[in-house]
Amino acid sequence: MLFFENKKSVELILQKMKKILLVSLVITLFTAFPIYLNAQSKMVSVRIIQNGTPITDTLDNGQVITLNTSSDDAEQENDEMDSLYDDDLDAGWEGDPEDQNILTMGLRFQGVHIPAGATIDSAFLVMYSHEGKSAEDVARITIVGEANGNASTYSYEELITSRVETNTSILWEVNVDWEIWEPYRTPDIKSIVQEIVDLNTWQFGNAMAFMLKGENQGPSDVDNAREFESFENISDPEDGGDGQNHPERVPELLVYYTFESQVVEIPIRQNGEPITDTLDNGQIITFNTSSDDAEQENDEMDSLFDDDLDAGWEGDPEDQNILTAGLRFTDVTIPKGFIIDSAYIQIYSHEGKSAEDVANITIVGEATDHASTYTYESLITTRPHTSASINWVVDVEWGLWMPYRTPDIKTIVQEIVNREGWEAGNALAIMLMGENQGPSDVDNAREFESFENIADPEDGGDGQNHPERVPRLVVYYSAPSAIFNRQQSNSLIVYPNPASDHLTLNLESGSKATISVYNQIGALVMETVTNNESLPQLNVNHLTNGIYMIHVMQQGEHFHSKLIINKQ
């Protein structure tokens, strides 16, 4: 009877229990499956950039202007190249019975920071109209990519249509009204971008090109071409413009992609001639050599071709030595500026050690863009060191020929790949430096297998060299979360963040700025131009809850910030 009298209370309890279970489920999902929830799409926004010399022009109203130029956007009429430095670009079909032309537009984007192996989630070309158009001006445009891992700029000597095309194409049928100087975007071209990124010649930071090809739509009284703003665009005073060039209106490539953490494993590699040696048991062996692993005792270089490497401290009162090991890894295919998630060096012990053989080792990187191999003429310790360092206290027992790894050295690797001159494929060097630990009856050095390691028969080995035991660098890395352009993209201060209705941006100056807001699928949801405001406000109350990216272009510089919309 009590159950029925308190039925309402029981229902409330059940509702609370459902909420608790739901919260528990969400927490469980976040804990158990972080890789899926954290696998957010990354965005790249690249515009056509200057690659030519400035030119001076006189407008119809007599106004003299000077503007930069680029041959990375071009136009072709039928089988002839048009001017590379025009203020607009045409694509589609000119259907005048007296003057019919198939129009092809080429767009090349430099410094596209998409890594090989990325999955393209969505991609668009964003362009600004050069003039108004009615829905009757239907243009059938086929978009293809240039099947080239690093596209070259356009010239008068080569037709756009003579370039090798991707197998993938997208039909863009433009049949809507266009307003002058307004942004419009193509359909999703992710399949085209994916095909280019999957080419074996594609590398992070290469140039990517697209063709927008018109077709013969037959004679027409309307103009089926669509006209876009070019790099050299001019806001014509006759159309109500200010007679100025507008960098914010140049064609843009917008790509969202996913790139999960990648791993590279790089062993010390051969760079010397094979040598022949005779073991103590009379066995004759021949093995390859490398000067990419080296050892230094105090202020003297040791043999470059020894079967082991020492690091730490030899504390014998009669023979005290600070030991430094240098390890150089070649062809490190991590692109500049990528995020190092974790990194370590794996080594194999050359002899057993007790836990009492404590070695205090400081690990640093060589602060150079492309480390050179070791020689007898230069000490390892004279090379420039990274600011980042890791202290490795080795105080555990080691077995013979067993694998061990250093602590995480991601800060060291990150500092090197962030260097201005770093390029994917360069060589990276690490130093393991011992210190004076004072006289000791135990040997505080740790010995590990070198490139020329030999499994000594006296220790029960087979007398052979073992390539699988050479030191190797293991790095897990991922792409930066957002790169906006080939030029440096600076951080932007916005507040409040999260926001619900209004947002204030703290700009570098009060000069003219173009503010663009993109949602998570790459759609441009807001764009405005400010003048004489260093603290402009945006009304964002029409945006739904979620994560957005704000991109500001001001005086040739790019600024960005993540924005969270959270309406209670």
The secondary structure of 499-554 as a DSSP string is BSSEEEEE-SSSS-EEEEEE-TTS-EEEEEEE-S-SS-EEE-TTSPSEEEEEEEEE
**For 254-273, what is the mean pLDDT?**
88
**Angstrom distance (rounded) from CA 312 to CA 307:** 17
Segment among 48-57, 196-205, 275-284, 357-366 with least mean pLDDT: 275-284
**pLDDT given for residue 203 in this prediction:** 82
**pLDDT given for residue 556 in this prediction:** 61
**Angstrom distance (rounded) from CA 462 to CA 3:** 80
**pLDDT given for residue 120 in this prediction:** 93
Answer yes or no: is pLDDT of 228 > 70. Answer: yes
Answer yes or no: is pLDDT of 508 > 90. Answer: no
User: What CATH number does domain 487-565 carry, 1.20.140.10, 2.60.40.3080, 3.90.79.10, 3.30.70.2470?
Assistant: 2.60.40.3080
For strands 482-483 and 42-47, give the pairing: parallel
The more confidently predicted of residues 463 and 145 is: 145
**pLDDT given for residue 341 in this prediction:** 84
**Angstrom distance (rounded) from CA 269 to CA 291:** 9
Percent helix, percent strand, percent coil in the chain, to nearest 5: 10, 45, 45
The more confidently predicted of residues 492 and 178 is: 178
C-alpha distances in Å from residue 327, one per residue of 120, 345, 359, 407, 429: 37, 9, 18, 16, 6
pTM: 0.60
**pLDDT given for residue 9 in this prediction:** 43
**pLDDT given for residue 439 in this prediction:** 92
**pLDDT given for residue 364 in this prediction:** 98
**For 284-299, what is the mean pLDDT?**
93
Confidence band of 30 (pLDDT split at 50, 70, 90): very low
Q: To the nearest whole number, what is the mean pLDDT of the chain?
A: 86
**For 194-208, what is the mean pLDDT?**
91
C-alpha distances in Å from residue 511, one per residue of 244, 304, 330, 534, 537: 15, 60, 47, 7, 15
**pLDDT given for residue 6 in this prediction:** 43
Dihedral sign of CA atoms 241, 245, 249, 250 in order? positive
**pLDDT given for residue 11 in this prediction:** 46
> 76 and 160 in contact (C-beta within 8 Å)?
yes
> 401 and 469 in contact (C-beta within 8 Å)?
yes
The tens digit of pLDDT for each residue in 356-402 reads 999 999 999 999 999 999 999 999 999 999 999 999 999 999 999 99
**For 132-158, what is the mean pLDDT?**
96
**pLDDT given for residue 528 in this prediction:** 84
Confidence band of 310 (pLDDT split at 50, 70, 90): very high
**pLDDT given for residue 74 in this prediction:** 96
**pLDDT given for residue 287 in this prediction:** 85
403-431 per-residue burial string, b: 16 or more CB within 10 A, e: under 16: ebebeebbebbbbbbebeebbbebbbbbb
**For 445-470, what is the mean pLDDT?**
90
Answer yes or no: is pLDDT of 545 > 70. Answer: yes
Answer yes or no: is pLDDT of 306 > 80. Answer: yes
Cis peptide before 97 (omega within 30 of 0): no
